[in-house]
Amino acid sequence: HNTHHYLAFFRLIREAIKQGNFEQFRTNFIAHRRNHLVRFETSMVEVLSGNPPLL
């Protein structure tokens, strides 16, 4: 499972480099990852405070 994601991730990096848009890939990746981490942290705070998010 993890190997699949690892290989797919690096395939996307290689494609971005070949197409000359690695910086755009990097920017999008970082922004997406940052948003994911913020949502996770917010959810954890809600759970720990006794107010779990509604699913």
Contact 8, 16 (CB under 8 A): no
Phi, psi of 29 (to 5 degrees): -60, -50
CA distances from 22 to 32, 36, 42 (A): 15, 21, 30
CA distances from 18 to 3, 29, 44, 51 (A): 22, 17, 39, 47
pTM of the model: 0.60
Encode the chain (55 residues) as per-residue pLDDT tens digits: 789 989 999 999 999 999 999 999 999 988 888 776 666 666 766 667 776 656 5
Task: Give pLDDT, residue 20.
Answer: 98
Q: How far apart are CA 53 and CA 32, in angstroms?
A: 21
